[in-house]
A and B are shown apart, each in its own frame.
Chain A
């Protein structure tokens, strides 16, 4: 995935410490997506992915920060969202990205499902924390 870190300079930010913050985070993503003129289906997919990743961050990473920004590349525009926590990291990434696998109470579709809902998906994990970055291009 391309580096869109620069876009985050002007990003909207929500700190996630409890489940109502997850709602705020996905509302922030929805507002950005609506403003960028994304189609309803694409919006819904992006916001659902944000919801999954926001919850993951809260449950497994102990909370963190969600940042979202509008980006443009090669004439198309999209929404870039980064989820950053300081949790213990994901031990076995391949396993965590497998459908149906869960270490918690979910359905095990959080990471793998979110990945299918967006166009670009990128994850960095280690003992210092986990960062997931996604991009959904508009139509």
Chain B
């Protein structure tokens, strides 16, 4: 049994802060957990904080993109926050650009962006 990444609820926002080196199974579990929680809580926004992640490979990259699409279908916007410079440079070289995924520099800016989105301004 592998660990699961906790999904926290704050108002109508779900916060996922990834603090450990991800195994593929955890990535798949997170995808399930997140879509279930969006439906259960009727969340309007999801923030995935990856500032602690030292690497993002194509598997995790795909999870981020898929999550953004799934949550949009379920009526919630996803913001990925805190990507490290070295990780961003590596993803570009790998051939991933996470198109369709909204991003912010850090958690605070992510929250602001969600607020703006719900006000229909971004």
Q: Do the two chains touch directly in the complex (Cβ atoms below 8 Å apart)?
A: yes
Interface residues of B (CB under 8 A from A): 2, 21-25, 54-59, 61-62, 84-87, 89-90, 93-96
Do the beta carbons of A109 and B94 come within 8 Å of each other? Answer: yes
**Bound state CA distance, A44 and B57, in angstroms?**
10
Give, as a whole number of angstroms, the nearest-CB distance from A49 to chain B.
8
- Asked, given contacts A106-B59, A107-B58, whether A44 binds B90 with beta carbons under 8 Å apart, the answer is yes
Interface of A is mostly: helix
- Flag whether A110 is at the interface (Cβ < 8 A): yes
Do the beta carbons of B95 and A113 come within 8 Å of each other? Answer: yes
Do the beta carbons of A48 and B90 come within 8 Å of each other? Answer: yes
Give, as a whole number of angstroms, the nearest-CB distance from A137 to chain B.
15
* Residues in B neighbouring A52, C-beta threshold 8 A: 57-58, 94
**Bound state CA distance, A52 and B111, in angstroms?**
32
Do the beta carbons of B56 and A22 come within 8 Å of each other? Answer: no
Contact of A112 among B21, B86, B89, B95 (CB under 8 A): B95
Given contacts A20-B2, A44-B54, A107-B61, 15 further A-B contacts (CB under 8 A): A19-B23, A19-B24, A22-B23, A23-B21, A23-B23, A30-B54, A43-B86, A44-B86, A48-B55, A48-B57, A51-B57, A55-B57, A107-B62, A113-B93, A116-B93
Supply 13 A–B pairs (Cβ within 8 Å), ascending by A.
Answer: A22-B23, A44-B86, A45-B93, A48-B90, A51-B55, A51-B59, A52-B58, A55-B57, A106-B62, A107-B62, A109-B94, A116-B94, A117-B94
